Structures are given as C-alpha cells and as structure tokens.
Amino acid sequence: MKSIYVAEQDSIALPIPSSIAIDLAPELAVLSLLDATCVIATRALACAHPEIGTVEHQPDASGCAPAFPSAAACTASCIISHLDALRFGITSYWHAMSRELPGVAVAPDQQNTL
C-alpha cells in the first residue's frame, strides 16, 4: 500500500480510483483529490487547535457546545464538521458508483492507494 507522508512519523493512505473507473466516471478522480484535501485540512486544523478535540468541548446531551477558548477554534471546529460531512457525501457517491459499475474498483475499500 502506498501512502502520502504528512509528517515524519505520520502518513495517511488515500484511496484513488482505478484507471478503468476514471475512464467510465472521470469525476471520481476529482472527488478523490477533494477527499484527500478534506483529510489534510482536517488534520491541519486539529493540529492548530488541539483544544477542539477535548471532551469538554464536545456538545452535551442538549446539543449545545461549551464556549471555545477562541473564535478561531470555534470556526475550526465548524469547518471540521463540514469537512466530515463532505467526506461522507464523497464516500456515499463512491458506493453508489460501485453499484452502477459492478466489478470496477470505485469505492475506497476496493481501491488502490496513493
């Protein structure tokens, strides 16, 4: 499995569609890059604002989130939530295309990695 190195001690495996899948559905190439960008942006924001990952800043049972120490941390948390939702949409599209293109490596669990 190939990986892209984000830092010396950390790497991520990013799924890429097969060349056959790209021939049949070229948008999969761009969606793969968008997914990779979401992963990298999420990690960058999490590193810049480690406080957003702590338990005390997670929403409580009523859905309200406690105040963040800064507006930037609050905004970073919102961006990460949107990036997670976007990645869910991309994965859903990959799985939908897997059903439309049986036998072609489209979905992340079926793909090569870069």
Q: What is the DSSP string of 30-72?
A: HHHHHHHHHHHHHHHHHHH-GGGGSGGGS--TTSPPPPPSSHH
Query: Within 13 Å of residue 114, how many CA atoms lie on the same side as its CB?
Result: 14
Instruction: Look at residue 3 in the predicted model and tell me its pLDDT.
Output: 38
Q: What are phi and psi of 93, to 5 degrees?
A: -65, -45
* pLDDT given for residue 84 in this prediction: 94
Amino acid present at 54: T
Rg (CA), the chain: 17
The full length of the chain comes to 114
> Side chain identity at 56, as an amino acid letter?
E
Tell me the pLDDT tens digit for each residue of 2-14.
Answer: 334 444 456 667 7
Q: Where are the domains of the chain?
A: 4-51+65-113
CB atoms within 10 A of CB 69: 11
Beta bridge partners of 12: 4
**The pair of three-digit structure tokens given for residue 77, joined into one six-digit string:** 């948390």
Look over the chain and give the mean of its residue pLDDT values, rounded to a whole number: 78
Using one digit for the tens of pLDDT, what is the confidence trace for 29-50?
A: 999 999 999 999 999 999 999 8
